[in-house]
Structure 1
Amino acid sequence: MAPMTRSESKGSLTIFAGYAPGSGKTYAMLEAAERARQAGAVVVSGLVAANGWPQTQLMADRFETLPCKQIQQGTPASMEIDLDAALHRMPQLILIDDLSHQNPDGCRHKKRYQDIEELLKAGIDVYTTLDIQHIESLQDTVSAIIGHGLPERVPDSVFDAADRVEFADLEPQDLLDRLKSKQPGALSSPLSVTQLNALRELGLRRCADRIALHTRKAQKQAGYRTHEHILVCLSSAPSNAKIIRTAARMAGAFRCGFTALFVETKQFQWGFQADKDRLRSNIRLAEQLGASIETVYGDDIPYQIAEFARLSGVTKIMIGRSGISRRTIFRAPSLTERLIELAPELDIHIIPDNGLNKRTAPAYREPTRLLSVSLCDLVKSVLLLLLATLVGFLFFKLGFTEANIITIYILSVMLISVATKSPVCSFISSAASVLIFNFFFTEPRYSLHAYDSGYLVTFLVMFIAALITGSLATKLKSHAQRAAQVAWRTKLLFETNQSLQKAMDQSEIMAITARQLVRLFQRDIVVYRAENGVLSQPILFCAAEEGCSDTPYTSAKEQAVAQWVMKNNRRAGTGTETFSDSLCVYWSVRIGDRVYGVIGIAAKAKPLDSFENGILLSVLGECALALENQKNAQEKEAAAVLAKNEQLRANLLRSISHDLRTPLTAISGNASNLLSNGKLFDAQTKEQMYTDIYDDAMWLINLVENLLSVSRLEEGRMNLHMSTELMDEVIAEALRHINRKSADYHLIVREPDEYILVQIDVRLIVQVLINIIDNAIKYTPVGSDIRIEWKKQGDFVLVSIADNGPGISDEAKPHIFEMFYSASAKIADSRRSMGLGLALCKSIVNAHGGEISVADQIPHGTIFTFSIPSGEVELHE
């Protein structure tokens, strides 16, 4: 499985910015595009709106125009960029108007700037236009200037990441005059000169901030570091978006990054769904503005914020305040007051929200689970109160005081708080315990009246004590549950890390990750592996034990989303602004720009919360790291093999330099003597010289055959031509081709009592026998015995070749079948042996499914034994 790397040639983005419609952004873009075309660039118009300006329309008509996609969502139909057509055309430069445009349903992305980002990743340069009013962090200021906010917005990161920004500046009065002189039916500005001046100043300042940002990045690369760290507190309040944008602007002013922190309490878990949706929206806004998102857990919000700030090196905290209340003796300190007390060393910036002070009718809210009580909880409460009453009657009969009975009821309320899920049960049980105690154990008994007026104080103290005890028990249970959940997920992360380290291949790594994600989130998981830049077929891991249907998750539409995620190395799917109508949210498994795969998580019905997102990123990070380690290990192994092969090549060249020169020199010398002085030699001398020439030539032929055979076997290119043969004939054939010097040795062939058939490639097995026998002739003294015998053992035939020579040392035995190894020297350079013969024998025998080994013969000598498949004769009647 090979990672996919994004294109190195990313396109450049040029933004032609203005402070209001009509300032000349589009015309400036077209002029720049015309200059680029005259310079030789291929320029096409993706979508350019002239907005009734004749000169702009004439300029736009000069360029090739791509067809637009019509989206029918009203009358008239909306004209949108055909992203696939632009990617297919692949021009050098494309012109696209209105960077902040929001795409209608049916488009790939929700925002036009996301379309442009995909074009940039494909290597296409883009010219586009933008009104400064649409930048996200300026929305509060723009709303204060023009009286309302703008729905179409662009993240600051998109504006800051542009390669070039040209500001189309025009005096506000000139802009108004220009709009008035426009043709009838054209757009006119509803803004005054004062408002336009304010927007112009805002635009120029934002462009200057961008220049300063790029300068700071250059300084940072040169070693500059900042010590500021801003923390903004996240909440589900409607005003939180304003606080986040203010923190982003302050981070830019102080030349530092900022962190967005959310403190999750028990109350939030029981909160309204609308609040949770608003919180997710605020988290997405913080991410778009470049914040690092963190989540902590606890009911004491000021303490959690102060501790996080202290541990993270935060220097400034930004927090909202929704109103000013008069300080009284009985009022508890507010969140901001406690935060100031807990972190006096930090700069705390409080952003008021005047909009919340307006008198508005409260919106209807549906009841939450906080006030709901299940039947199971009611039964538990009744049984525990009944048990407390029975114990109370026992104490009453034994003459115990009323204080002891009250203690039993307080204990029962605490147990109810632990045993039930809803805090309502604790409150109801506190009140019920007081009434039951009054009814059964105070005079007059079996009535709710009390003769002694002091009982009122007793009842009140009893109720408060039971209520406080129950509340504390509920809170303790909540903390214990949360701690158990965090501990379980931490354990699962640890198990994931250990399992990934033990994985043998990349497929197993992806499968382990998917199974752990199923355990963590109890959701269906889809896994794609990236193989040579192409996604593999999806593999579905179901959360339900009975399985699930893979059709919805593996449809062509879902696979297209996964393919886009792999290509663009970005998250997409449900809950995002890209392919938001899909069933899953897809994440790339990546290290930097290397994508190893894509994992999809079913999140259409229930989006992932911030904690789950954090856990998911941790697991995917572990998975990517394991895949990277696996890839590095494979590359290291391949490098080791390559180094070994290079060493073998070097050994081969070194051996050839001597082993080929020796026989060639002998051949050329003998041939030269015969040609020049042949008449001077007698017949016996000539025969010896002819014999030496023949022996040297045959040695060279065998050497070449061995080299070619080893090469073909090692590369898997040699095909075995199997046939059934008689072993006696195979031995006889081998003996006819062995070294002529074999006449000086005693060759002993011991045939078995029965005929034995073998299923072999005759040519190769004959070569094995020749190599082993020749090896015995070379390394044993003249006159030594060489014994050949064979026998059938199971489905194989064992062939042994033994000699009574000096034998092979124990140190050499483990290496005897390695290429270029010789028993007399690690690299054969003194005799005609390159160490190829036995290496070839091992390869041939292994190719037949057999084994070869070497052992000592008693009292001295060597035995080579190898096995080959036995054969049978098929009789056809």
Structure 2
Amino acid sequence: MRSGKCMKRWFLFSWGDLGICVVTLLCAAMVCMLLSPSSSNDGFACPIFVLAVLLISRLTDGYLFGLVASVVGVIAVNYAFTYPYGKINFTISGYPVTFLSFLAISLVTSALTTQIKQQERLRAENEKEKTRANLLRSVSHDIRTPLTSIVGSTSAILENPNISRQKQEELLNDVRNEAQWLIRIVENLLSVTRIGENGRAQITKREEAAEEVVGEAMRKFRKRFPDVEVSVQVPHELLMVPMDAILIEQVLSNLTENSVRHGKTTTRIEVSVQRDGKLARFCVRDNGCGIPLEQLGSLFDGTLKSSETASGDGKRDMGLGLTVCTTIVRAHGGFIDAKNLPGGGAEFSFCLPLSEEEDE
């Protein structure tokens, strides 16, 4: 079984790799033809074709085209760039060594390149699995907590028919709030699903007015948190940003909601967007209690643990929301950061490229 896999690795073929091999060898031949009139000896051609073999081995999969390039290179150097020109003569002193050198370079470079590519694929798969595991852990916690509260409140109403009207309303309000929280979790999961496994393929970006996206996110925020003061700062000139407006609105919603839920004493939120060189910088500041220092280093890596109350009931943590924010921002080619403010409170900011070229 292992020998079969090795044989497949040796003879991997694709038309793209064939094109790379042909073009690279032709370029090497053209360079040698340009240099031959100005060279007093024939030794200049060997290093050029060695370099071509290295490039082909690096840019193609498997060993096939590296081997082909080494054989073609030896023949080309012998036939076209070694005296007597236009004839193949392998009896020339040193040519067996040259041929073996080409083969050795091809085999070693192809083997190392294949191994590096395999390691890169494994690393990418490990990152995907790590992200899935972190999301599953966050989702499991964030769903379990509101469901437990909903079951407890509804059971209290059903099992206590003589409960007061006021108490019923309090319990039903709790049920509604927890149901709204579950809806937010589902929205986050749908956002991650839209991005896809490769992180970028399903992002459809259009030029959007940043102030309109911020305004829509804040309109929804005010409906959920009417007691929190909100101020918005936007540039005087219209700032158009390539983005998926729905996903960036999701990021702003997550950050502002986290500011209220985890700021504990948050009564005011400031949201701003401005041009920062070739980037658009979005900031969410609050006057809450700030971010615990032990959490600053792990806010965006998906490893943030759920905190626990004195009674052992898990609080809603920031894990899922910030993981979604990080995934969305990176899918746009941007980056996200957080810090505590000197006068108290916290600031979350993320930057998006102002042009598609910056995202490449």
Specify if TM > 0.5: yes
Matched, 1:690 2:172: yes
Structure 2 Cα separation of the partners of residues 7 and 863 of structure 1: 53
Matching residue within 178, 188, 203 for 1:719:
203
Structure 2 Cα separation of the partners of residues 651 and 739 of structure 1: 30
Match of 1:544? 33
Matching residue within 671, 676, 679 for 2:154:
671
- Residue 644 and residue 795 in structure 1: after superposition, are their counterparts in 2 closer, same or farther (change >3 A)? closer
Task: Determine if contact 1:780/1:805 at 8 Å carries over to the other structure.
Answer: yes
Task: Determine if contact 1:808/1:823 at 8 Å carries over to the other structure.
Answer: no
- Residue 696 and residue 809 in structure 1: after superposition, are their counterparts in 2 closer, same or farther (change >3 A)? closer
Structure 2 Cα separation of the partners of residues 704 and 629 of structure 1: 44
Match of 1:853? 337
Q: Any idea what the Cα deviations from partners look like across 1:265-286, whole Å, max 9, x if unmatched?
A: xxxxxxxxxxxxxxxxxxxxxx
Report matched runs for 1:378-527 at 5 Å.
Answer: none
Task: Determine if contact 2:296/2:338 at 8 Å carries over to the other structure.
Answer: yes
Could you tell me how far 1:796 is from its partner in structure 2? 4.6
Match of 2:251? 768
Task: Determine if contact 1:652/1:820 at 8 Å carries over to the other structure.
Answer: no
Could you tell me how far 1:671 is from its partner in structure 2? 3.3
Q: Any idea what the Cα deviations from partners look like across 1:659-695, whole Å, max 9, x if unmatched?
A: 3222122223333444554x53444333332322222
Matching residue within 337, 341, 346 for 1:862:
346
Match of 1:607? 89
Could you tell me how far 1:773 is from its partner in structure 2? 0.8
Match of 2:271? 788
**Letter aligned with residue 858 of structure 1:** P
- The alignment partner of 1:863 has SS state of strand
Q: Any idea what the Cα deviations from partners look like across 1:306-348, whole Å, max 9, x if unmatched?
A: xxxxxxxxxxxxxxxxxxxxxxxxxxxxxxxxxxxxxxxxxxx
Could you tell me how far 1:817 is from its partner in structure 2? 1.9
Q: Any idea what the Cα deviations from partners look like across 1:73-114, whole Å, max 9, x if unmatched?
A: xxxxxxxxxxxxxxxxxxxxxxxxxxxxxxxxxxxxxxxxxx
Report matched runs for 1:582-593 at 5 Å.
Answer: none
**Letter aligned with residue 117 of structure 2:** Q
Task: Determine if contact 2:248/2:328 at 8 Å carries over to the other structure.
Answer: yes
**Letter aligned with residue 621 of structure 1:** A
- Residue 531 and residue 694 in structure 1: after superposition, are their counterparts in 2 closer, same or farther (change >3 A)? farther
- The alignment partner of 1:858 has SS state of coil
Structure 2 Cα separation of the partners of residues 655 and 864 of structure 1: 20
Matched, 1:806 2:275: no
Matching residue within 322, 326, 330 for 1:838:
322
Task: Determine if contact 2:135/2:320 at 8 Å carries over to the other structure.
Answer: no
Task: Determine if contact 2:203/2:331 at 8 Å carries over to the other structure.
Answer: no
Task: Determine if contact 2:139/2:320 at 8 Å carries over to the other structure.
Answer: no
- Residue 6 and residue 751 in structure 1: after superposition, are their counterparts in 2 closer, same or farther (change >3 A)? closer
- The alignment partner of 2:350 has SS state of strand
Structure 1 stretches of 4+ with a deviation exceeding 6 A read: none
Structure 1 Cα separation of the partners of residues 15 and 353 of structure 2: 44
Q: Which TM-score applies when normalising by structure 2?
A: 0.68
Could you tell me how far 1:771 is from its partner in structure 2? 0.6
- Residue 703 and residue 804 in structure 1: after superposition, are their counterparts in 2 closer, same or farther (change >3 A)? same
Could you tell me how far 1:767 is from its partner in structure 2? 0.8
- Residue 775 and residue 739 in structure 1: after superposition, are their counterparts in 2 closer, same or farther (change >3 A)? farther
- Residue 776 and residue 726 in structure 1: after superposition, are their counterparts in 2 closer, same or farther (change >3 A)? closer
Match of 1:332? none
Match of 2:182? 700
Match of 1:595? 64
Match of 2:42? none
- The alignment partner of 1:790 has SS state of strand
- Residue 818 and residue 870 in structure 1: after superposition, are their counterparts in 2 closer, same or farther (change >3 A)? same
Could you tell me how far 1:628 is from its partner in structure 2? 0.9
Q: Any idea what the Cα deviations from partners look like across 1:783-832, whole Å, max 9, x if unmatched?
A: 5432223334456543321123332355543432223435969xxx9322
Q: Any idea what the Cα deviations from partners look like across 1:512-558, whole Å, max 9, x if unmatched?
A: xxxxxxxxxxxxxxxxx95459861213222322689xxxxxxxxxx
- Residue 688 and residue 732 in structure 1: after superposition, are their counterparts in 2 closer, same or farther (change >3 A)? farther
Task: Determine if contact 1:816/1:823 at 8 Å carries over to the other structure.
Answer: no
**Structure 2: which 5+ runs fail to align?**
38-55, 80-86, 356-360
Structure 1 Cα separation of the partners of residues 326 and 102 of structure 2: 46
Report matched runs for 1:288-327 at 5 Å.
Answer: none
Structure 2 Cα separation of the partners of residues 822 and 778 of structure 1: 16
Identity of aligned pairs, percent?
30
More helix as a share of residues? 2
Report matched runs for 1:617-636 at 5 Å.
Answer: 617-636=100-119
Could you tell me how far 1:863 is from its partner in structure 2? 1.2
Structure 2 Cα separation of the partners of residues 4 and 783 of structure 1: 60
**Letter aligned with residue 321 of structure 2:** G
Match of 2:52? none
Report matched runs for 1:212-291 at 5 Å.
Answer: none
Structure 2 Cα separation of the partners of residues 654 and 840 of structure 1: 13
Q: Which has the higher contact order (CA 8 A, sep 6+)?
A: 2
Task: Determine if contact 1:851/1:867 at 8 Å carries over to the other structure.
Answer: yes
Could you tell me how far 1:857 is from its partner in structure 2? 0.9
Structure 1 Cα separation of the partners of residues 306 and 137 of structure 2: 17
Could you tell me how far 1:634 is from its partner in structure 2? 2.2
Matching residue within 222, 226, 229 for 1:747:
229
- The alignment partner of 2:315 has SS state of coil
Q: Any idea what the Cα deviations from partners look like across 1:335-385, whole Å, max 9, x if unmatched?
A: xxxxxxxxxxxxxxxxxxxxxxxxxxxxxxxxxxxxxxxxxxxxxxxxxxx
Match of 1:660? 143
Could you tell me how far 1:743 is from its partner in structure 2? 4.4
- The alignment partner of 1:607 has SS state of coil
**Letter aligned with residue 544 of structure 1:** M
Structure 2 Cα separation of the partners of residues 531 and 783 of structure 1: 61
Aligned residues: 301
Match of 2:218? 735
Task: Determine if contact 2:281/2:351 at 8 Å carries over to the other structure.
Answer: yes
Structure 1 Cα separation of the partners of residues 275 and 216 of structure 2: 20
C-alpha RMSD over aligned residues: 3.9
- Residue 652 and residue 843 in structure 1: after superposition, are their counterparts in 2 closer, same or farther (change >3 A)? closer
- The alignment partner of 1:737 has SS state of helix
- Residue 646 and residue 606 in structure 1: after superposition, are their counterparts in 2 closer, same or farther (change >3 A)? same
Match of 1:819? 302
Task: Determine if contact 2:143/2:182 at 8 Å carries over to the other structure.
Answer: yes
Match of 2:44? none
Structure 2 Cα separation of the partners of residues 532 and 547 of structure 1: 33
Could you tell me how far 1:861 is from its partner in structure 2? 2.2
- The alignment partner of 1:669 has SS state of helix
Structure 1 Cα separation of the partners of residues 275 and 180 of structure 2: 33
Q: Which TM-score applies when normalising by structure 1?
A: 0.31
Q: Any idea what the Cα deviations from partners look like across 1:829-855, whole Å, max 9, x if unmatched?
A: 932236132232233334445443223
Structure 2 Cα separation of the partners of residues 812 and 640 of structure 1: 26
Structure 1 Cα separation of the partners of residues 345 and 230 of structure 2: 15
- The alignment partner of 1:622 has SS state of helix
Match of 2:132? 649
Structure 2 Cα separation of the partners of residues 701 and 682 of structure 1: 29
Task: Determine if contact 1:723/1:762 at 8 Å carries over to the other structure.
Answer: no
**Letter aligned with residue 770 of structure 1:** S
- Residue 782 and residue 806 in structure 1: after superposition, are their counterparts in 2 closer, same or farther (change >3 A)? closer
Bigger-Rg structure (1/2): 1
